[in-house]
Amino acid sequence: MAEAGRDEELSSKQKSSFFGRSFTMQQPKAVVDHHPSLERAGSIRKLYSSIESFKGKVLKLRNFFDSPKPPPVPPAAAIAAAAADIFHLQAQSQLQSQLLSRLKPTRSLGSSFSSNSSIRLPGTGDRIVVYFTSLHGIRRTYEDCYAVRTIFRGFRVWVDERDVSMDLAYKKELQSVLGEKRVSLPQVFIGGTYVGGADAIRQMYETGELAKILERFPKKAPGFVCEGCGDERFVPCTNCDGSRKVFDEDEGVLERCLECNENGLMRCPECGS
């Protein structure tokens, strides 16, 4: 009986201790006031300092990437193109200097035109004579001849145009007057006095001196064109009809026509005299 009563006492103590433990476990803990406003302020200060540190790192990175970079090295193709351009310019400069050194100064009165020149063309004191060529063989020569003829036609003065490509006698005549075997064209004589080539005529035209010199020469009507030759200055020979051969009735043979040139042409009787 005693043992049974002791067992009941122990079981009752265990139950009380169990319920007491359960009561304490479920009892809410005391809430401790840690001043949350102060902790929140500290957290904000820490966050602000972290942001400032991050800004400093970003600024350093930006300064690093924005630093001046060395100029890019040009590619080999660009270097080769630049070298080719420089070589081309140097070659052009050398060619121009060589051409200028080869040019012979033209004997010309130019701006110092005077009737006392030692080079004169006999029998042409009352006219303007231009030796030129109508062939396109040498482009520069043809352009100079065309320019000089155009200048004189602009003043509408009568000009004795002597085409050396149409009559070989003109070429020999010019060579004998200038005393040279090779003569550049065009060549101009005004009033029997030698003036010069295309450069001299252009200079006199630009300075106005040519207009003053041509005032004493007769002028043609505007739009005048020779009806006999169409301003070509040559017509087929009227003696042989351009065949350069005539029949000698006394001898009964063909002979060379003496009234035309090597091309079977003769000077226009209306404008070439």
Residue 271 is classified by DSSP as T
| pLDDT score for 191 | 93
d(CA 161, CA 169): 13
Predicted TM-score (pTM) above 0.75 = no
Q: How many CB atoms lie within 10 A of CB 251?
A: 8
| pLDDT score for 252 | 83
Instruction: Pull the structure tokens for residue 65.
Output: 């990437």
**Do residues 246 and 239 make contact, with C-beta atoms less than 8 angstroms apart?**
yes
Instruction: Pull the structure tokens for residue 20.
Output: 């007491």
Question: CA angle, 134 as apex, 128 and 138 as ends, to 5°?
Answer: 115
| pLDDT score for 115 | 47
**Domains and their CATH numbers in the chain:** 110-216 (3.40.30.10), 234-267 (no CATH)
Average pLDDT, 10 consecutive residues per value, the chain (273 residues): 53 50 47 51 63 66 57 61 65 58 44 62 93 92 95 94 93 92 92 94 95 92 87 90 88 89 90 72
